[in-house]
Amino acid sequence: EAGVAQSPRYKIIEKRQSVAFWCNPISGHATLYWYQQILGQGPKLLIQFQNNGVVDDSQLPKDRFSAERLKGVDSTLKIQPAKLEDSAVYLCASSPPGRNQETQYFGPGTRLLVL
């Protein structure tokens, strides 16, 4: 079974530029999560999708961050414009339906550096 795919793996941009990350969850996983992990910290949930609907985006800085999952499969996370403090690893995770939904499967992450 293929794992959660993310691209790109690394991205370097200058502040005020835009950037987009892509995630393809494990096949059949209805729930998809985007996390931000700053160096030395644990992951912080940005947004949670159930199929193509948003379940929770309470910690998403909506003035600059946006995310979509139009067809209920893959997802994109965008930052526009980026700030220095957005430098972090962006992790995508998915979870299966049913009683095993509590377990999340993570992708390798996209490491973003904002200069």
Partner 1 sequence: SQQGEEDPQALSIQEGENATMNCSYKTSINNLQWYRQNSGRGLVHLILIRSNEREKHSGRLRVTLDTSKKSSSLLITASRAADTASYFCATPERGSNYKLTFGKGTLLTVNP
C-beta of 73: minimal distance to partner 1 in Å? Answer: 19
Comparing CB distances to partner 1, the nearer of 26 and 81 is 26
C-beta of 16: minimal distance to partner 1 in Å? Answer: 27
Binding residues (CB under 8 A) for partner 1: these are 4, 31, 40-45, 48, 56, 91, 93, 95, 101-109, 111
CA distance 14 to 115: 5
Comparing CB distances to partner 1, the nearer of 5 and 81 is 5
Comparing CB distances to partner 1, the nearer of 61 and 81 is 61
Comparing CB distances to partner 1, the nearer of 57 and 81 is 57
C-beta of 38: minimal distance to partner 1 in Å? Answer: 10
Tokens of 41: 């910290």
C-beta of 81: minimal distance to partner 1 in Å? Answer: 26
Angle, vertex CA 19, rays to CA 50 and CA 44, nearest 5: 50
